Chains A and B, each alone.
Chain A
Amino acid sequence: MMDRLLFGDNQFFGVNHMSEEKARAQALRFQEIEAVIDVLDAAYDEGIRTFMCTTHERISLVCDHVRAHPDRYPDYTFYPGMPYAHKYANAVTESGMLGAVKRFLPDEGLMDAAIRGTTSVAKKDIEGITTLLIDAEMKMFQGLSTPVIFLQNVVVDLLLGLGFKEAFRIFADHVKSRYDAEPGFITMNMPALLDVLEELQIDNPIICSNINKIGFRMCGGSAAYEAALRERQFRAVAMSVFASGAIPAREAIEWVCAQPNIASIVFGASSKANIRGTRELVSEFWQD
């Protein structure tokens, strides 16, 4: 069972879809990991115990902190979202496609990884390469609770566009068997992805997509999103509910809480006051 409110991490890494100035101010503010942990603590103290995060290398510092303080965070949960795409995109520009894949494969350690790696690359066996890349990204979460593991939207939507459906199945199977976790999919094209996941018989999938009152980055259109929420079997995680600040908080939460079948809302905030404000709005509008 997923929590209703999940805490996101865009604000920590200078990601702001509205303004580069704001993004830089946030990057400055969260330069030291202590500042990130202070905000996560504020969220935790408001009862928000799930951190839906990228696999940015700095997240490993958060992982170390949580591992080191089990008494402070007895029920802390991570929902990792992989991969941190810019790392790969910049590597592709520099080293080419295959070079980039090779660079991120584990280069030492387990014999298993080495064998899976070399033969997979040679045989174009995507299953082997994919599972290795997943394992590399999951390393930082060792010993922590990761009941849901997400595939990031750039990858999901690339695979969706290419018609590379098998990769979703590979991801789902590996996440289940190796991490005893549920697969989650982040997308900007929710109705189209839902069709493919249904076709693959990935039942009741967890799909995280923009769901906001103004239809911002809801590809396929608001009507298709609303129909999917009403009529189809999946667990929707709503992100970008404020549309990067374009919708006032109260109006945004009131609208999203009125949509049927939303399992969770993921939101980011940098201050205790904003975290509390969002939590209170959700309690007000989202009653069982």
Chain B
Amino acid sequence: MQIQTETRDGNLVLSVQEPRLDAHNSDELKDYIAKLLEGNESRLVVDLSAVRFIDSSGLGALLSGYKNANLHRASLVLAGLQPRVQAMFELTRLNRVFEIYRDVDEALAGH
């Protein structure tokens, strides 16, 4: 799985460079986030702007990251959801769980 990370304004921005987040690669994302949280990160911004398809296991991996962040007294927020990906969060009502920002800049400003 292609993921780029960079630190911006004290946030760790994680850009998922995959068009699909599904049962084939979601465990990898979940493990990747879990590993990052072993460090001292306080806020993860997951940039999903390159993701055009997400399934239930992709949603599950992000939810796992969200819960894991809370356990580590950190936070995980989402940014850049394409409309159909956003619709999946709404369908499953996970939009009520996650903080979702239009793009990374907004996520950084919404700190």
> Do A and B belong to a common assembly?
no
